[in-house]
């Protein structure tokens, strides 16, 4: 790492002092989010019915945990860098590949891709379960498609995206310096940064549309099929997660795209965007706690806050809370799960 020629002016120094405050807040939020996601992962993995039922929620949880840890490491890294700039009054210079090899950036990249992909599959799964109940029951629910194929495709997409990112960074070589504080665009180029923004917006918005369609379809069917109320309850927290992702992640990404192709927006809009995305990674635990009765009961029992008996899962119930008939015609199956 080398330093730029000449000392920085006082106005520039003052701007870095403001950025230190911004990242201290974001690092604190990231630390809280990390602890919350560790707790959530323990709850999911320590209870076998949750491990089999909430495959996609666990995938999302892992993405949130990686993203939260990356935010903490990023915050610490940038506070150290900005403090050095303030002390030396010189701006360090780094090459794109130097940025690409930062651990926090690699972790952030994984989270930035895995989270929207997992959210997208959540919307798809709920819509398929409602519109094609027979297909879902016999070909998806409890089958390799749900436990291996979908997570496998998601992880493969993440790996391919990271491989492309590093290829772009290596192609940049040492022809020019990157912004010293690094970031996706600095390490991998503006084009890849735009890809991440578009991926987040597309996946989250699509998941919201799918979950909304599934929710209203299930709500309509529940009027004539009481058992469908279970699906309504499940889709409710899926829907809330997708809506929160759209508001807290897709909206800030849309603002970032606007700044690239139109004009820079006020710091009053752009700076809180960091916090919004961090909050989104830590809020899902509270969504489950509020809207998932069994999750709430399991959590309270773990902390000895409830003496109620363990809620048993009948073998006649699918992992998604819908009755799975062991015998009967396709007509009976449709009536029970559609």
Model confidence over 284-296: pLDDT tens digits?
999 999 999 999 9
Closest CA to 238 of 125, 79, 70, 100: 125
Compute the Cα dihedral for 68, 73, 75, 78 and give only its sign.
Answer: negative
CA 69/CA 114 separation, integer angstroms: 14
Determine how many CB atoms are found less than 10 A away from the CB of residue 14: 11
Domain 2-337 has CATH 3.40.50.2300: no
Q: Cα dist. 86→18, 26, 28 in Å? A: 11, 20, 22
Q: Cα 328 from chain centroid?
A: 40
Q: Cα 155 from chain centroid?
A: 13
Q: Delimit the domains of the chain by residue range.
A: 2-337
**pLDDT > 90 fraction of the chain, expressed in percent and rounded:** 45
pTM for this structure?
0.84
CA dihedral 210, 211, 212, 218 (to 10 degrees): 110
pLDDT of 310 higher than 60: no
Write down the pLDDT at residue 147: 83
Please state whether beta strands 92-93 and 2-3 pair in parallel, antiparallel, or not at all (unpaired): antiparallel
Angle between helices 229-245 and 103-131 (to 10 degrees): 150
Going by pLDDT thresholds of 50, 70 and 90, the confidence category of residue 140 is: confident
Tally DSSP H helices, then E strands, for the chain: 16, 2
Closest CA to 28 of 252, 246, 282: 282
Specify whether the CB–CB gap between 275 and 26 falls below 8 A: yes
pLDDT tens for each residue of 252-273: 888 777 777 776 656 556 667 7
pLDDT of 312 higher than 50: no
**pLDDT > 70 fraction of the chain, expressed in percent and rounded:** 84
Q: Cα dist. 65→30, 34, 97, 273 in Å? A: 9, 6, 25, 19
CA 323/CA 316 separation, integer angstroms: 6
Going by pLDDT thresholds of 50, 70 and 90, the confidence category of residue 112 is: very high
User: Greater confidence, 8 or 237?
Assistant: 237
CA 135/CA 280 separation, integer angstroms: 33
pLDDT tens for each residue of 172-210: 766 777 777 788 888 888 889 899 999 999 999 999 999
């Amino acid at each position: 790492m080398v330093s730029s020629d000449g000392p920085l002016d006082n106005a520039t120094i003052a701007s870095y002092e403001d950025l230190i405050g911004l990242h201290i807040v974001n690092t604190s939020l990231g630390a809280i989010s990390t602890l919350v996601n560790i707790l959530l992962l323990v709850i999911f993995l320590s209870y076998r019915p949750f491990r089999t039922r909430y495959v996609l929620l666990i995938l999302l949880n892992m993405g949130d945990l990686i993203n939260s840890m990356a935010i903490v490491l990023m915050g610490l890294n940038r506070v150290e860098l900005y403090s050095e700039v303030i002390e030396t009054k010189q701006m360090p210079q780094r090459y794109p590949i130097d940025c690409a090899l930062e651990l926090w950036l690699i972790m952030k990249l994984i989270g930035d891709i895995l989270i929207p992909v997992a959210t997208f599959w959540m919307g798809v799964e709920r819509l398929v379960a409602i519109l094609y109940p027979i297909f879902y029951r016999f070909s998806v629910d409890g089958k390799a498609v749900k436990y291996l194929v979908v997570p496998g495709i998601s992880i493969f997409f993440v790996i391919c995206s990271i491989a492309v990112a590093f290829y772009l960074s290596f192609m940049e070589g040492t022809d020019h310096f990157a912004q010293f504080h690094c970031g996706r665009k600095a390490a991998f180029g503006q084009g890849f940064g735009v890809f991440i923004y578009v991926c987040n917006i597309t996946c989250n918005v699509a998941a919201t549309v799918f979950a909304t369609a599934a929710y209203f379809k299930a709500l309509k069917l529940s009027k004539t099929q009481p058992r469908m109320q279970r699906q309504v309850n499940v889709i409710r927290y899926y829907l809330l997660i997708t809506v929160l992702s759209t508001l807290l992640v897709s909206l800030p990404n849309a603002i970032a795209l606007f700044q690239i192709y139109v004009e820079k927006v006020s710091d009053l809009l752009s700076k809180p965007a960091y916090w919004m995305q961090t909050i989104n990674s830590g809020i899902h635990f509270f969504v489950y706690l509020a809207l998932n009765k069994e999750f709430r009961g399991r959590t309270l029992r773990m902390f000895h806050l409830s003496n109620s008996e363990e809620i048993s899962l009948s073998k006649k119930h699918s992992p998604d809370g819908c009755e799975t008939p062991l015998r009967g015609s396709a007509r009976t199956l449709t009536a029970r799960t559609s």
